[in-house]
Structure 1
C-alpha cells in the first residue's frame, strides 16, 4: 500500500486535557511516516464533541484510524461511524454501547479516586439564563490520580492547564457505537486511578476488541509512549490490509 493510501491517525484527547497529552506519541507516529492530526476537542457535550470530530474526519482525504483517550473513547465511539474510519483505538477509554451514557457505564462499577477530586464550576451559556457546569480536577490531586508515573514537573503543568469537561457530557447517551462495525483495539491502564480499569476491560470485552494491559497511570500515552505507538501501529496495519 502506498503512503498516500495509508491511514491518517487522528488523536482525540480526553477530559481535563488537550491535544498536548499526545506530545510523546506524535513524534513516534511521524517517524513511522504516518500522517497525524490532533484536534482540540471542545469538551462541551458528547454529541457536540462527536459531531466536531466527525467533521474533522470527513475533511481528511483517505482512510482514518481514530484514537481516543479516556472521554475521547466515548467521542470516537460515536464519531467513528464516518465512512472513512477504518479502525478505532481506545487508550484508557470508554467504549459505550448504543443508548448508554458515561454516567451509566461508570455506575456499574465502584468509583475511582477521581470522583472525590472533582470540582464543579458554573460557566455562562450563550442565549440562556441558566449556566452550564464545568467539571475539572483539584490541581493538587491531579498528579497522583492522573499521572503518577509521569514526570512530576510535567504532571504539575498538566494540573494547572486542564481543559474542563461540561457536566452535560456525562449524561448524554451514545446514538451509535462504531466498534460494532469497525476493527477496534484497546489499551487498559491497569494502575489507572482516574477510570476504574474494570470499566475499560468491560467495554473492550463487550466490543470484542484486540486488547493489551499496561501497568500505567491514566495518561498511558505520556507514561509509555513506545507501547502506545506500537499498538497504534498494529491498528494502522489492520486498517491498511
Structure 2
C-alpha cells in the first residue's frame, strides 16, 4: 500500500490533484478521438513536474487503454505483418535514445517536449493526410519508426512522425484505429523499458501509474459519451489548438 501511494505522498496534494485531473482529461480525449492520452498527459504534467516523472505516470494508463484499442477489430495479424519494420525500429530508436539521451531533468528536455507537442499540433491542424506509396513503405516505415523512438526516449511523446505515416497507409477506419493502438502499445513498452533502464521507473512510480488508470478509464467513458453528442471534427480542432498552446509555453518556459 505504501508503494501504491508513495509517489503521491511525495509530490503533495496539489500535484496529486493535477495528476488525477490530467488523466481524466487525457482519457476523455482518447475516448473522443481514439488517441491523445500520452500526449495530453505529458503536455499538462510537463507544466509542473519533470518529463521523466510524467512519463513514468503514463505507463499503465497508456498501456491498458492502448491494448484495449489494439484488441478491437480482427486485423491484428495482418497489421503486425505489415508494420513489423516500423514497430521494430520504434523499439531500436527508443532504446538507443534512452542510452544516448534519456528523459532528462534539464530545461532542454522541457523545450524538446514543447517542440514535439507543437509539431504534432501543427501536423494535426494543417498537414493533409499523406499518401504513402506501397514502394516507399520498405524504407519510409523503418525511418519513421526510428525517429519516433528517438523522440519518445527524449520527450515521452510517441506520435511524431509515426501517426501521419500510419494515417497515410490507406487503412480503413477499423484497421487505422487498431494500427494506432498497436504502435502506441509497442511505444509504451519501449518507453517503460527505457525508463526502467535509467532508474526512472520503480515500485513507487508503477503504483502511482496504476492509480492514474482510474481517472483515465473514467475519462474514456466520458469521451465515448461525448463522441455521440458533439462534432468530432470540432473537438479535434480544439484539441490540437490546445496542444499547440501547451507546446509554445513549454518551449518558452522549459
TM-score range, shorter chain: under 0.3
TM (norm. structure 1) is 0.27
Which structure's relative contact order is higher, taking Cα pairs within 8 Å and 6+ residues apart?
2
Judging by fraction of residues, say which structure has more strand.
1
TM (norm. structure 2) is 0.26
Judging by fraction of residues, say which structure has more helix.
2
